[in-house]
Amino acid sequence: MPFDRWNALNDAPVFPPERFGLVADRLGRILKTRNDILLFQTEAVVALEAVTASLARPGLKAINIVTSPFGAWFGGWLRRGGAEVVTLMAEPVRPIDAEAVTAAFEAHPDTKAVIFCHAESANGVLNPLEEIAAAARARGIVTVVDAVASVGGHALDVDALGVDIAVIGPQKSLAGPAGVSAVSVSPAAWRLVTAEGASRESTLSLLDRKAWLDAGRGALPGTSASLEFFALEAALDRFEAEGPDAVLARHGRAAKAARDGLVALGAAPSAPAGRASHLVTTARLPDGVGMDAFLAAATHLETDMSPGVGPGAENLVRLNHTGQRARFEAVLGNVAAYGIALRNLGLPADIAAAAAAVAAYYSG
Ligand SMILES: *Cc1c(COP(=O)(O)O)cnc(C)c1O
């Protein structure tokens, strides 16, 4: 028997059941909410599908704001459950205009729910959460927010804003594991989820998961994904030790430095200033430069640049400054690598000016 092939990651001890509730409380504090927190032993996109599956039913009208491929998925899941979906599509790789959302609310007074991404990792835009949530709240519309790529990196005050459902994962700003996620659910959201026609006896049913809350938040149903929860606790320990304000500021600074660095380089940031993700900064490649050639010109540097995702993002390069990457060395490395790639392709790039622009944010 190969007992010598010992690995600490195998045969992990069971996650102590009494700590699930504590983890939920810690996530609730990050979201600044007293709403219920449901835990999912799955990646966040499954939690998003569960939320839409639990809301969707014939007779329910929802406004789906699409600013990336995620939005298209939300609409598909809602329709699959029989909901009537009004699609509000932003211009490609632009945030939605808050006034367009209000106009849609006015045009569809029977709307029960609105769903959208807060910050987009796919193309780097930031949607106007505060304005949308306020307009929805004034009309009694349940607000559903994909906050996976904003929690920790952007202000997200769930109760003050009146966000009814927020879906989060620890794998972005919190630099935690990707196989676990959480959903906050307000009383108004529960009323909508539990109304006639609610989905049940499904892993996608929020109502089924409510049983965990009602039973006093002990062990989660099914085999505990212990490694994920130990890793989540470790991520929360680190997050809390640094402090939410410091983590948020670190991401905000990384985004500003990346943006100014790109501009100094002579590159073109894509997301509008003030409406840009703090987790990724996107830049539009110069005309005539292909994505594959650009990335190939920088692969030897092993920095963290990748193509944008979704319609209109084909020629956007993403500079990743998420989680532990939201630091000087990653930002400087990515901006310089962007410049090196341009130069390797025979294009001008002022790397010295770019480095100075980044350094200005980290001078102490
Ligand atoms: C990363 C991310 C998710 C979650 O995707 P996973 O596949 O679960 O990692 C959801 N929404 C947004 C906006 C994201 O950036």
How far from chain centre, in Å, is Cα 4? 41
pLDDT of residue 333: 98
Q: What is the pLDDT of residues 265-280, one digit of tens each?
A: 999 999 999 999 999 9
Which residue, among 86, 56, 55, has the nearest Cα to 191 in the 3D structure? 55
**Exposed / middle / buried, residue 305 (Cβ in 10 Å: 0-12, 13-18, 19+):** buried
- The CA 148 to ligand 1 mean position distance, Å, reads 6
How far from chain centre, in Å, is Cα 234? 20
Whether residue 217 is found in the same domain as residue 256: no
Which atom number of ligand 1 is nearest to the Cα of residue 169?
4
| The pLDDT of residue 2 is above 60 | no
pTM exceeds cut of 0.85: yes
Spatial separation of the C-alpha atoms in residues 33 and 160, rounded to whole Å: 8
| The pLDDT of residue 351 is above 70 | yes
Whether residue 237 is found in the same domain as residue 252: no
Pocket lining for ligand 1, CB < 6 angstroms: 43-45, 70, 117, 120-121, 146, 148-149, 169, 171-172, 178
pLDDT of residue 142: 98
pLDDT of residue 11: 85
Average pLDDT over residues 39-48: 97
- Mutation test of ligand 1: which of 146, 165, 167, 318 has the most ligand atoms closer than 8 Å to its C-beta? 146
Name beta bridge partners: 318: 282, 306
Q: What is the pLDDT of residues 211-241, one digit of tens each?
A: 999 999 999 988 889 999 999 999 999 999 9
Whether residue 298 is found in the same domain as residue 329: yes
In a domain, 304, yes or no: yes
Mean pLDDT over all residues of the chain?
Answer: 96
Residue where one domain finishes, among candidates 211, 241, 271? 241
- The CA 109 to ligand 1 mean position distance, Å, reads 30
Whether residue 142 is found in the same domain as residue 249: no
- The CA 82 to ligand 1 mean position distance, Å, reads 24
Which atom number of ligand 1 is nearest to the Cα of residue 43?
8
Percent of the chain with pLDDT over 70: 99
| The pLDDT of residue 123 is above 60 | yes
- The CA 137 to ligand 1 mean position distance, Å, reads 25
Whether residue 298 is found in the same domain as residue 323: yes
pLDDT of residue 9: 86
Whether residue 220 is found in the same domain as residue 315: no
| The pLDDT of residue 173 is above 60 | yes
- The CA 44 to ligand 1 mean position distance, Å, reads 6
Q: Is the dihedral of CA 339, 342, 345, 350 positive or negative?
A: negative
In a domain, 178, yes or no: yes
Average pLDDT over residues 338-359: 98
How far from chain centre, in Å, is Cα 239? 17
- Parent domain of 111: 12-241
**Domain tally for the chain?**
2
Q: Nearest C-alpha to atom 7 of ligand 1 is from which residue?
A: 45
The CATH number covering residue 275 comes to 3.90.1150.10
Whether residue 203 is found in the same domain as residue 311: no
**Exposed / middle / buried, residue 106 (Cβ in 10 Å: 0-12, 13-18, 19+):** exposed
